[in-house]
Amino acid sequence: MVLNGFAVSSVEEALRMLEAELKRRPRYVFRVASRLAADAISARRQDLLVKIDSLRMQAFTATHTRLPDTLENPLVTLCLTVVGFAFTYLGGAHSYGGVYKVALLLIGIIITLLSSHPFGHSLAGRLGGIGFNGVYFGGRLRVEPTLLLNLESYYRAGVRVRFWFHLAGPLATFFSSVVLSVLVILAYYPVLVKLLVALIPVLILVTEVVNSRVRGDISRAIHALKQGVLC
């Protein structure tokens, strides 16, 4: 293993080097620490996995804004998703002016798509025994609620549990977008708006499939089938 141009002979040595780099290069530390988890699993070293988990959390906290831990609860994100549905439907349920319709529609879509993804992951995690180390603003634009995995509970879970955990996020997003489309079709929105919103599930599906080759939840789900389990 090579870190910063130096060969390291053990995970312990790698962790010491990463701890020294934490304040200066938190993104690098998070990325490398995540990779070290596989070595800790192979060695059946729970103590190392706990240290790696702590290091990842410190590195992630240094580069992301933390959100209230209540968002780890699937009931909370489910309620937010329902609120998004309500805004979407109300926007077309009455004869508001065009500006109000567009505002309510956009608010509904944004709330639904931002809350349904973590809802899928948190529900699958709760059912499968996978825990989290907090919720943060993540994604490319730093506006998407992102759950930080607790590695120990993640690797203790079975392979199938981890597989469905990763798939649960995009599945929840896809089905919630389908519900959005149905609500918009049933409400009094212009035909063009109905067509545009109906394209959202298609765009989500295409995006997930394209991203599955190199990254994204589908790629992680496939990779999870090849990983070991902490016994």
pLDDT of residue 6: 42
pLDDT of residue 230: 54
pLDDT of residue 231: 47
Q: How many CB atoms lie within 10 A of CB 45?
A: 16
pLDDT of residue 98: 73
- The set of residues, in sequence order, having a beta carbon less than 8 Å from that of 202 and lying 6+ positions away, is none
| Phi, then psi, of 65 in degrees rounded to 5 | -85, 125
Name the nearest CA neighbour of 150 among 64, 230, 44, 76. 230
Which of the residues in the chain have pLDDT under 70? Answer: 1-9, 94-97, 212-214, 227-231
pLDDT of residue 171: 94
pLDDT of residue 5: 47
pLDDT of residue 228: 58
pTM, rounded to two decimals:
0.87
Measured CA to CA, the distance from residue 35 to residue 29 in angstroms comes to 10
Q: Which two tokens stand for residue 103?
A: 């505002």
pLDDT of residue 206: 87
